[in-house]
Amino acid sequence: MSMNIELPDWLDACRPDDALYADAYEGTPAELRALLKTAIAFAFHRWPAMDGEARLARRSGRSGFSHEELRRPASWALALLGPGFASPARLLAALVPAVIAGAGRILVVSEAPFPPAVCTALELAGLEDSFLLHAEQMPGLYEDLRAASPDGRLVAFPGADGSFTPAQQELLHAAALDGLPRFRDLPCPRILSLHAEASEAEARLRWLQPDAELLREAAPDVRAVFTPLAEASPAAYFPAFLCGPGMEACWPGPSPDFYTTSSCSAFFVQEPALEDLS
């Protein structure tokens, strides 16, 4: 099981007012909330929830080896939201796998207030540890998390122009020097929409991916394809992510494996001593 780390006391004062999330949730039309719920449900369909720590042991006299593998969720995951990031679809695609993996703490931090769509996604996913930090607080949070457990993950969401604040850039640099596993979202993704222009589905895509470039024709760097067809072959758009109607909030992201840590022990099988056989 993951380590149940304690958050630093000073961090609690950085939580946004609960009304921010309540107002965002109530202000989001029910059909848009349903799209986000669908994305969350699909993630749990795709990857069954992990049940804490897992062990696998194997001993083979024929091969002459024995080994044991241990796998457990990361103790924490820290998500940085760059200036202007506003995609609830990509946020859920990157962080719901952490929930599925059973990561100990999942923190979402920003220097600017969260957009309503992001607040709604956090609320629906049950991600309660979200904070608004000043620039000078960024290094302290990272140091406190590393002190509690070095087994963490960093998830970075650049702003629409691909940028981070200077404090966020310093944190990213420190994490890279520490060798912390990192996932970075790609801003302004190119999306192929096969829906009719100005359709309701297009409007939903623009709410879910406000910085995306919607294309009418296939291109080599298309990240995802959204079709009005109930079924379609992914081979025609490989390797793009292909989604049918009502699944516009789904998006490719890291798997729960990203949020787990594995170790392995390896030994020769020891032949029993003669006296042990008597």
Q: Cα(81)–Cα(102) distance, rounded to whole angstroms?
A: 22
Handedness of CA 221, 224, 226, 229 (dihedral sign): positive
DSSP codes, 116-139: HHHHHHHHHHT---EEE--GGGHH
Cα distances (Å, whole numbers) of residue 164 to 48, 154, 187, 253? 33, 14, 12, 20
φ/ψ of 262, rounded to 5, equals -120, 150
Tokens of 44: 């749990």
Q: Is 229 exposed, middle or buried (0-12, 13-18, 19+ CB in 10 A)?
A: exposed
What are the tens digits of pLDDT across the range 63-81? 889 888 889 999 999 999 9
**Its pTM surpasses 0.95:** no
- Mean pLDDT across the chain: 93
- Compute how many other C-beta atoms are within 10 angstroms of the C-beta atom of residue 269: 13
The boundaries of every CATH 3.40.50.1980 domain in the chain are 9-187
Specify the CATH number for 9-187; select among 3.30.70.120, 3.40.50.620, 3.40.50.1980, 3.30.1330.80. 3.40.50.1980
Q: Which of 52-56, 100-104, 113-117, 235-239 has the lowest mean pLDDT?
A: 52-56
Tokens of 265: 């022990």
For residues 129-135, give the mean pLDDT: 97
- Comparing 52 with 154, which gets the higher pLDDT? 154
Q: Cα(73)–Cα(1) distance, rounded to whole angstroms?
A: 6
> Checking DSSP bridges between strand 54-60 and strand 65-73, what pairing results, if any?
antiparallel
